[in-house]
């Protein structure tokens, strides 16, 4: 079995599945609508937003970019979010982070209609995730959701497995722990204060590395046959590398994501999936 978990191919497969759903939604009267708000001229944010727009266009989602100057006031930005909340053509709203220092990010996130929060960062959506409410509408954060898709589509059974997450961020570490817990994994979340990290990672059937430190997880820290998900994107000497030392980890892993081409493409695919889900919720 090929060990590599090809995020590019899996994301492509998901986009093809979404095209069919969007075609049905169009026949019902309206395609999904996504509004992306970009504040200022952060080059990384501009690149990422461009990739989102391209993906939306490819599968038939109506996409709007609201590109505003970094000098915009918080009140003006909140007014823009309110307009989008009340725009019936828009099913999903994404305010690209980070925002300028003079703007309260949490206030902006909380201003987004939870039913349009396709990034999955609104406290109502995170609350429904952390309390395990599957029966209510909820949007899960795109990167953690993509990680679950990668694991499941590779054919790795999550139930009953030991899952170790290295990193406890609100964007990846904590939510992916809850998504794995919902699928009946036994969870350990490690961080900078963990006493013996290697002992913890060597017990992991599923190992998620999300610390933002290049080559932090070495092969000797990986259990034989483990599924290794590398969330890290670190630029070193002009090259993108992950949090996992790929070559040594590959030797021991049963399945592993590359960087680039692993988790990255899935984040955008899950944003598209959440937008299609929001369109289902809002109807025509």
Active site residues: 52, 96, 119
CA dihedral 48, 274, 141, 252 (to 10 degrees): -80
List the structure tokens of 256: 């592993």
Residue 230: which H helix or E strand, with range?
strand 227-230
The answer to whether 168 is annotated as binding is yes
Q: How far is residue 188's CA from residue 162's CA, in Å, rounded to a whole number?
A: 8
| The two three-digit tokens of residue 266, written as one number | 């899935």
**71 carries a ligand binding annotation:** no
> Under a CB-based contact definition with an 8 Å cutoff, are residues 55 and 264 in contact?
no
The residues, any chain, with a CB within 8 Å of residue 187's CB and separated by 6 or more, are 163, 164, 165, 177, 180, 181
Do the beta carbons of residue 92 and residue 56 sit within 8 Å? no
Cα–Cα separations (whole angstroms), residue 143 to 28, 147, 170, 262: 30, 6, 11, 11
Has 167 been labeled as part of a binding site?
yes
What is the signed CA dihedral for 79, 81, 82, 88, rounded to 10 degrees? Answer: 140
169 is in an annotated binding site: yes
What is the rounded CA–CA span in Å between residue 273 and residue 139? 10
Strands of the sheet containing 255-256, edge to edge, are: 186-190, 162-166, 206-209, 227-230, 255-256
Binding-site residues for NADP(+), please? 167-169, 233
Binding-site residues, please? 167-169, 233
């Amino acid at each position: 079995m090929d060990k590599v978990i090809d995020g590019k191919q899996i994301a492509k497969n998901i986009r093809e599945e979404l095209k069919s759903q969007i075609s049905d939604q169009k026949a019902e009267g309206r395609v999904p609508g996504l509004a992306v708000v970009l504040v200022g001229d952060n080059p990384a944010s501009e690149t990422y937003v461009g990739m989102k727009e391209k993906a939306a266009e490819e599968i038939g989602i109506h996409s709007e970019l609201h590109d505003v100057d970094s000098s915009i006031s918080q009140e003006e930005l909140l007014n823009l979010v309110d307009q989008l909340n009340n725009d019936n053509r828009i099913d999903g709203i994404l305010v690209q982070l980070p925002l300028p220092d003079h703007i309260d990010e949490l206030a902006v996130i909380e201003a987004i209609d939870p039913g349009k929060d396709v990034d999955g960062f609104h406290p109502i959506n995170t609350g429904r995730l952390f309390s395990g409410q599957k029966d209510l509408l909820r949007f899960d954060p795109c990167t953690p959701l993509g990680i679950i898709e990668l694991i499941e589509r590779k054919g790795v059974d999550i139930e009953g497995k030991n899952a170790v997450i290295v990193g406890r961020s609100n964007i990846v570490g904590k939510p992916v722990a809850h998504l794995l817990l919902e699928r009946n994994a036994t969870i350990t979340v490690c961080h900078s204060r963990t006493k013996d990290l290697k002992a913890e990672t060597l017990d992991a059937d599923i190992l998620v590395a999300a610390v933002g430190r290049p080559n932090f997880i070495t092969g000797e820290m990986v259990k034989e046959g483990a599924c290794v998900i590398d969330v890290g994107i670190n630029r070193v000497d002009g090259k993108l590398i992950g949090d996992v030392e790929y070559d040594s980890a590959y030797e021991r892993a049963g399945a592993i994501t590359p960087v680039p081409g692993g988790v990255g493409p899935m984040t955008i695919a899950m944003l598209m999936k959440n937008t299609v889900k929001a369109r289902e919720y809002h109807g025509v």
